[in-house]
Amino acid sequence: MKINKADLHRLIKNKIEKAGLTEEHATIVSDILTFADARGIHSHGAMRVEYYAERIAKGGITNRPNFSFKQTAPSCGIFEGDNGSGFVAAKLAMDQAIKMAKATGVAVVGVRNMSHSGALAYFVEMAAQQDLVALSVCQSDPMVVPFGGSEAYFGTNPIAFAAPSHDERMITFDMATTVQAWGKILHARSKKETIPASWAVDEAGNPTTDSTKVTALLPIAGPKGYGLMMMVDILAGTLLGLPFGKHVSSMYHDLSQGRELGQLHLVINPAFFTDLATFKENISTMLDELKEIKPSEGFKEVNFPGERGRMREKNYEAEGIELVDDIYDYLVSDVIHFDRYDHKNKFAE
């Protein structure tokens, strides 16, 4: 079915607030989940609400966290998340990073002891909207084999980047360091379809096309993706004194416990390195030149990172956001959660 953005936001906020978060925090969570659905990133949108509601209701997310920020140097700081909502902690930490970068030219802010924070694109766009460049990385629980390995060690460990241009366009790059998301494999399972051998491995660590035999995912571009996910884990985990690699807490193992995850925001003020107007004009020129490139066979045009997501958002504004009926039925129900995520394996099974 289809639903307009305002109604979706209201339904998500209502469910998260009933689960136990304050109205202020529930609003922020709903802002970011709705942002994801509006961009077509449905794996990080409304489909996640029931999981968050269950974890909140069971105490695995601190309802009224004792957030704190310590500026450890003119351009560095640590945001303590107290295992509160990762959405809220990441947003407030980015607010601090933006403030510091405007004053000193660059800011590096680590977020410690947080829960899952959703689509990273939201946070880097916060900075780009204020004429800053941003990079954000975060940990996730182990479900990816290292290159050449047969057992999961790192998480999907996403990376996001955003930069402003001279016009309304913005570069936004948000990616996991795996070839494909687990949700795509679940979708293949539900349809009894095979998957490409480059997506995942079986119990023996061998590439598999059988979606029912998948036990772990594969990194993008082999050793390159492996290196990137290790880099993210160090920046968002080890650097902040948090659990790393296979020691990162499971998303579903015990929903009554905090996850103690980490995230790192790096924000750069172009005005401290070059003329800001020229920088933005050059970004716009780059985008124009990319659009002028003749597309290869099978493509209508060359898109720049983030462009298709904004195109989806415009379409959804006119036609409504796509939402699975079961998810809508849950959102409008009086049920907080159906107790179906706690003590499941890394793939929620």
- Give the 3-state secondary structure of 215-275: CEECECCCHHHHHHHHHHHHHHCHHHCCCCHHHCCCCCCCCCCCCCEEEEEEEECHHHCCC
User: Distances in Å between the alpha carbon of 172 and those of 128, 148, 251, 310?
Assistant: 9, 31, 26, 10
Domain count, the chain: 3
Q: Is 116 a catalytic residue?
A: yes
Query: Residue with structure tokens 């899952």?
Result: 116
Q: Which pLDDT does position 127 carry in this prediction?
A: 98
Report whether pLDDT(200) > 80.
Answer: yes
The strands making up 106-114's β-sheet, listed across from edge to edge, are: 68-73, 76-80, 106-114, 261-268, 133-138, 159-164, 170-175
Tokens for 25, please give them. Answer: 């925090």
Q: Within a domain: residue 345?
A: no
Q: Which pLDDT does position 190 carry in this prediction?
A: 67
Mean pLDDT on 278-293:
98
Q: Please state, in angstroms and rounded to a whole number, the distance separating the CA atoms of residues 136 and 273.
A: 20
Q: Please state, for a pLDDT cut of 90, what percent of the chain lies above it.
A: 89
Q: Which residues have C-beta within 8 Å of that of residue 288, sequence separation ≥ 6?
A: none
Nearest Cα residue to 265 out of 115, 52, 100, 140: 100
Q: Which residue has the higher pLDDT, 212 or 190?
A: 212
What is this structure's pTM?
Answer: 0.95
Mean pLDDT on 291-316:
95
Q: Please state, in angstroms and rounded to a whole number, the distance separating the CA atoms of residues 113 and 84.
A: 8
Mean pLDDT on 321-347:
92
Q: Exposed, middle or buried, 63 (CB in 10 Å: 0-12/13-18/19+)?
A: middle
Report whether pLDDT(297) > 70.
Answer: yes
User: Distances in Å between the alpha carbon of 197 and those of 193, 201, 217, 284?
Assistant: 13, 8, 11, 38
Q: Which pLDDT does position 192 carry in this prediction?
A: 81
Report whether pLDDT(221) > 70.
Answer: yes
| Chain segment 150-188, per-residue pLDDT in tens | 999 999 999 999 999 999 999 999 999 999 877 778 778
| Chain segment 54-111, per-residue pLDDT in tens | 999 999 999 999 999 999 999 999 999 999 999 999 999 999 999 999 999 999 999 9
> Angle at Cα 185 formed by Cα 147 and Cα 173, nearest 5°?
65
Q: Do 162 and 200 fall into the same domain?
A: no
Q: Do 265 and 149 fall into the same domain?
A: yes
> Worst-scoring range by mean pLDDT, 16-25, 129-138, 196-205, 255-264?
196-205
> Angle at Cα 90 formed by Cα 84 and Cα 92, nearest 5°?
90
Q: Please state, in angstroms and rounded to a whole number, the distance separating the CA atoms of residues 198 and 179.
A: 7
Q: Do 206 and 226 fall into the same domain?
A: no
Tokens for 293, please give them. Answer: 């490139």
Report whether pLDDT(191) > 90.
Answer: no
Report whether pLDDT(130) > 90.
Answer: yes
Q: Within a domain: residue 72?
A: yes
Q: Do 151 and 185 fall into the same domain?
A: no
Q: Which residue has the higher pLDDT, 67 or 324?
A: 67
- What is the CATH number for 184? 3.30.60.50
Q: Do 237 and 266 fall into the same domain?
A: yes
| Number of Cβ within a 10 Å radius of residue 102 | 17
Confidence of residue 282 (pLDDT cuts 50, 70, 90): very high
Where helices occur in 20-140 by DSSP H, the ranges are 23-38, 49-57, 86-104, 121-128
Q: Which of 26-30, 149-153, 207-211 has the highest mean pLDDT?
A: 26-30
Q: Do 214 and 300 fall into the same domain?
A: no
Q: Which pLDDT does position 222 carry in this prediction?
A: 93
- For residue 178, what are the β-bridge partners? 219
Q: Do 107 and 189 fall into the same domain?
A: no
Q: Which pLDDT does position 255 carry in this prediction?
A: 96
Q: Within a domain: residue 171?
A: yes
Containing domain of residue 56, as a range? 2-178+219-274+314-332
Q: Do 320 and 291 fall into the same domain?
A: no
Q: Kindly report the average pLDDT of the chain as a whole number.
A: 95
Confidence of residue 194 (pLDDT cuts 50, 70, 90): very high
Asked if residue 92 lies in contact with residue 122, where contact means CB atoms within 8 angstroms, the answer is: no
Tokens for 332, please give them. Answer: 């409008």
Which of 44, 116, 265, 337 is labelled catalytic?
A: 116
Q: Do 119 and 168 fall into the same domain?
A: yes
Q: Please state, in angstroms and rounded to a whole number, the distance separating the CA atoms of residues 173 and 151.
A: 29
Q: Do 265 and 319 fall into the same domain?
A: yes
Q: Within a domain: residue 348?
A: no
Q: Which pLDDT does position 248 carry in this prediction?
A: 96
